[in-house]
Amino acid sequence: MTKQVKQLDRVIIRFAGDSGDGMQLTGDRFTQQSATFGNDLSTLPNFPAEIRAPAGTLPGVSSFQVHFADHDILTPGDSPDVLVAMNPAALKANLQDLKKGATIIVDSHDFSGRNLSKAGYDHDPLETDELDEFAVHSVDLTSMTVEAVKEFGLSRKDAGRAKNMFALGLLSWMYGRPVDPTIAFLERRFAKVPDIRDANVTAFKAGWNFGETTEAFVVQYEVKPAPMPTGRYRNITGNLALAYGLVASSVQSGLPLFLGSYPITPASDVLHELSRHKRFGVTTFQAEDEIAGIGAALGAAFAGSLGVTTTSGPGVALKSETIGLGVMLELPLVVVDIQRGGPSTGLPTKTEQADLLQAMFGRNGEAPVPIVAPRSPADCFDAALEAARIAVTYRTPVMLLSDGYLANGSEPWQIPDVEQLPRIAPGFATEPNHTGEDGESAFWPYLRDEETLARPWAVPGTKGLEHRIGGLEKNDGTGNISYDPANHDFMVRTRAAKVERVAETIPPTEVDDPVGPDGQGARVLVLGWGSTYGPIGAAVRHVRNTGLKVAQAHLRHLNPFPKDLGEVLKRYDAVLVPEMNLGQLSMLLRAKFLVDVVGYNRVRGLPLRAAELAEAITDLVEAQTGDEPLTTRNQETEEVR
Amino acid sequence: MSQVDLPNPGLRGVPVTEEPLTRKDFASDQEVRWCPGCGDYAILAAFQGFLPSLNIARENVVMISGIGCAARFPYYLDTYGMHSIHGRAPAIATGLATSRSDLSVWVITGDGDSLSIGGNHLIHALRRNVNLKILLFNNRIYGLTKGQYSPTSEPGKVTKSSPMGSLDNPFNPVSLALGAEGTFVARTIDSDRKHLTSVLSAAAAHRGTALVEIYQNCPIFNDGAFDAFKTPDTRDEAVIPLVHGEPVRFGNDGDGHPTKGVVRDRATGRLEVVDLTEASEGDLVVHDAHDEDPATAFALSRLTDAGVLHRAPIGIFRSVSHPTYDDLAREQVETARQGTEDPTEALAGLLSAGDTWTVA
């Protein structure tokens, strides 16, 4: 039959099923297909902390949301246009996020007695009118999959497990995705188990063919490739980009990379990835605990490596004492915190930005460390390079604050030209730096560079520079133990001044503030940091589309701030600071600049919703200016719907 | 850069010194600040005297310590050194030793540092067999915090924090190290410079983690804890010398002949101390430090008193050759690096691997 082809500018699809249903893989494949096709995209995996929560229950639901478009987009989207629900629990858990008119493709196979009650249904929702406001396609995906793959002689259970590929095939047909990459992927992945390989490929093709032939689906959709700057692209998650950024830091500094780490969600993938790149001289040490992970990294830094430790919030808490030691020793060290929901064990697989103050102050004594945060999955690459640059240049631990959303979310990444990457100069000390009154030359480990205030980095094996460092207070210059009150005061201030010096090498705050028809800029600034960049950008676009003026700026450096930040804040009548915490950046801004910023705070374990944020921005702009939106607020512009 | 020749595998990869060094070369300009009479002085003197014998470059020696009285040790040696934080020295030293094959890495620790707060790092260093030499100064008390009981204090010890007597069962550091399958485990005494030096030499020669427990007197908070091993009229009864290949015998009949020995009970398999007779002489356990199975070494370690010390085996309990973590880690990196082109090209290849597409 001939199917109608409808053009769309963008689509949000959410694949949802049991945590054993392979939804992450399905979403990832759909994403890769869309990337290869040339759409811009953004993804949001969302899964339970349990590896296999009880099958068919609400806590066991795992989902993967992918937003793809024919133009530049910033977020995985608030509300899916299409929900693929593989069982009753997946339907129930995700229904609340759908707007009227959304499409639901549901595997009807498990909509019976016990499976319904496990999901908390006392009836079959497919048999009532409760889904009437949605376009529901109820299809027995499981049975069709089993039927399609019966020639391979698999058990019914194994045959049924290919249903995710059937669903992927169906969606691939609906949105005209290229299929070859996925077939090639399945052939690689299951190369050693031919019957499983063949069953998955067959189920995938069967899903495609079902879409093409059935009368249940009459429309095929087309989302054209997005215009992007010329270049070579790949799709990349934040953790992968971060790991690559660390490898690049090693290559660009000529320092061997030493990672000391202990497995923790959502940071373990960085350890996994780096352990595969030993050919770059990368050593990965899976330590006995978080403390040993950072301890070994610090030991390696003393020995002249680029020392790195990767963890999440609970791990940072354990590493605090060693970070303090690093502050005292003044050795380069990159501490990567992939933030997750807290406190305590919190929400291991969900995202949050509530470790900012821990990064800032979570140590005894005056122990400042520079803090760098990436804004998007691909940006994790550049942020890692920047963290390494600061650590090596200033001989200091640096906190790199990513989060669970950036870690697992993905977007297209324009592959950088390696020749253009910044160089990092270790500048090891090679000779004595001081001549005593007796005319003898000596090495003073705490004699500082005048420009950076960094101390010399003399590694063991360098003749004549033997010295001792430690956690006790140092005498300025000699580095010998000192309990002198004036010296302590001086050293505390000097360590703080050194971190402040980092600001000399930070670019000024980039403010996006288009001049309006009245020749004036905005009176309200939205200022964010980290992974809220996407939702803030989407919300700001929406507000501007309604005719209101609003400025946006996003911080990569949280400590020290860019030198012009105070002046920037004071240019605006109001500053809105959206964060996935209860106002941690707000607190820092108020303390430092005496500016009464307005917080917008959500700690739901999920990225901010652009639509809600847009309303908050609109309210603030209206309150400050008396202006009102020219278009109605509910109009669906851009990503806000 | 020349290398120390075998048979000193522990120092393989460490450059030899260009000119002969003396004890003075290893003394830093810092004033030593332990309490008068502290056993640490004797250990420091022995260590400074021993280091030149290794014939390695001074700048390739690194001392890592944690927190405690013993942890001041690195400040007094003119080598590279780090006085780190409580209990973490083995972890820091693991990173150091793994990232550099040309360093001789020493960890200086005490019973509180390595067996309380740092217990985890100690057992994992031993398990991994990183090429580190761990000198555990055991004074059976917390000195720096002024006299609380430690994890090696005898049960019932009355201290500031245990006025009615401590309730804790102590660790036997040698048993613990053997339980973690340490490849080199020894015990020596601060005041016996000759024995201490011989054990340090053997530890330095060992490739892998060496754990040397040094009985060390704290004259302020636990004075006399090891007097049984030092007083002439009790010493021979207290020290059970372990010598590889020799029957385990001790005591003194007044003419310098041993009076006691260690035998294995045929029924239970336990080791026991018996009076030496012609009959028992033939049954004596012959010490085999190179035994792969640590069971007998462990059994020997159990002859140590758990309470106030009157008797303990002294010497090298175990010295076996196993692959070391740091060698294996470097080997993996080296294997992976073989054939790797210019790093910049390799990086470009890494970044553009996988599914890519081009926008023209």
Residue B326 Cα, gap to closest chain A Cα (Å): 10
Which residues in chain B are closer than 8 Å to A321, comparing Cβ atoms? Answer: 85
pLDDT of B7 reads 54
Q: Complex ipTM, two decimals?
A: 0.97
Residues 1-30 of B with CB under 8 A from A: 15, 28, 30
Contact at CB, A300 and B332, closer than 8 angstroms: no
φ and ψ of A614, to 5 deg: -60, -40
| Inter-chain CB proximity A468 and B62 less than 8 Å | no
pLDDT, position A525:
98
Does residue A631 surpass a pLDDT of 90?
Answer: no
Nearest by CB: A466 against B79, B335, B360:
B79
Which tokens sit at A516?
């309006």
Q: Does A467 sit within 8 Å of B95, measured CB to CB?
A: no
User: Under the phi-then-psi rule, with left for phi > 0, alpha for psi from -120 to 50, and beta for the rest, what region is A23?
Assistant: alpha
Asked if residue B254 lies in contact with residue B209, where contact means CB atoms within 8 angstroms, the answer is no
Cβ contacts (< 8 Å) between B330 and chain A: which residues? 283
Phi then psi for A366, rounded to 5 degrees? -85, 100
Tens of pLDDT along A557-571? 999 999 999 999 999
CB contact under 8 A, A232 and B352: yes
Residues B254-271: tens digit of each pLDDT: 999 999 999 999 999 999
What average pLDDT does this structure show over A461-484?
Answer: 97
Q: Please state, rounded to an integer, the average pLDDT across all residues of chain A.
A: 95
Q: Which residues on chain A are in Cβ contact (under 8 Å) with B74? A: 468, 470
What distance in Å separates residue B118's CA from the closest CA in chain A?
10
Question: Which residues from chain B sit within 8 angstroms of residue A463, using beta carbons?
Answer: 57, 59
Residues A437, A430: Cα–Cα separation, whole Å: 22
Percent of chain A past pLDDT 90, that is, above it, reads 92
pLDDT of residue A619: 97
A19, A48 contact by CB (below 8 A): yes
Of the candidates A386, A454, A392, A398, the residue with the CA atom closest to the CA atom of residue A422:
A386
pLDDT(B207) > 90: yes
pLDDT of residue A632: 56
Given a cut of 90, whether residue A430 has pLDDT beyond it is: yes
**pLDDT beyond 80 at B3:** no
- For residue B49, the SS3 value is helix
B95 contact A CB<8A: yes
Q: Which residue of A has its CA nearest to B336?
A: A279
Is there a contact between B83 and A251 if contact means CB atoms under 8 Å apart? no
Which amino acid appears at position A433 of this protein?
Answer: N
A contacts of B80 (beta carbons < 8 Å): 302, 460, 466-468
Name the closest residue on chain A to residue B340, using Cα atoms. Answer: A279
As given in the structure block, the two tokens for residue B121 are: 């790092």
CA B317 to chain CA mean position, Å:
11
Look at residue A636 and tell me whether its pLDDT is greater than 90.
no
Q: Where are the alpha helices (DSSP H) in chain B?
A: 39-50, 89-99, 111-112, 119-128, 173-179, 193-205, 232-238, 278-281, 295-301, 325-337, 343-351
- Residue A230 distance to chain B (closest CA, Å): 5
Model pLDDT, residue A627: 86
Question: Do the Cβ atoms of B340 and A280 come within 8 Å?
Answer: yes
Q: B96 vs A302: CB contact, 8 Å cut-off?
A: yes
Contacts of A419 in chain B (CB under 8 A): 344
At position A45, the amino acid (one-letter code) is P
Position A638 scores a pLDDT of 52
Indicate the pairing of strand A4-8 with strand A219-223. parallel
Sequence-ordered list of residues with C-beta below 8 angstroms from that of B256, at least 6 positions apart, any chain: none
- Closest chain A residue to the Cα of B125, Cα to Cα: A288
What pLDDT shows up at residue A634? 46
Rounded to the nearest angstrom, the minimum Cα separation between A422 and chain B is 12
**What mean pLDDT do residues B235-245 have?**
97
Chain A positions in Cβ-Cβ contact with residue B129 (cut-off 8 Å): none
d(CA A390, CA A394): 6
Q: Go through B149-160 and write b for each residue having 16 or more CB atoms within 10 A of its CB, e for each that does not.
A: bbbbbbeebebe
- The amino acid sitting at A198 is D
- Min Cα separation A121/chain B (Å): 42
Task: Tell me which residue has tokens 């070579």.
Answer: A232
Tell me phi and psi for residue B296, to 5 degrees: -70, -40
Give the containing element (helix H, strand E) for B195.
helix B193-205
Nearest CA of chain B to the CA of A371: how many Å?
23
* B positions 287-306 inside 8 Å of A (CB): none
A635, pLDDT greater than 50: no
Q: Cα–Cα distance between B72 and A472 in angstroms, integer?
A: 10
Residue A260, class by beta-carbon neighbours within 10 Å (0-12 exposed, 13-18 middle, 19+ buried)? buried
- Structure confidence by residue, pLDDT tens digits, B305-355: 989 999 999 999 999 999 999 999 999 999 999 987 799 999 999 999 988
Which among B82, B344, B360 is the nearest to A418, CB-wise? B344
Burial class (CB in 10 A: 0-12, 13-18, 19+), A283: buried
CA separation, residue A392 to residues A31, A467, A503 (Å): 37, 19, 15
> Best residue in B99, B102, B342, B352 to probe A by mutation, most A CBs within 10 Å?
B99
Q: Which residue of B has its CA nearest to A413?
A: B356
How far apart (Å, rounded) are the C-alpha atoms in residues B9 and A628? Answer: 80
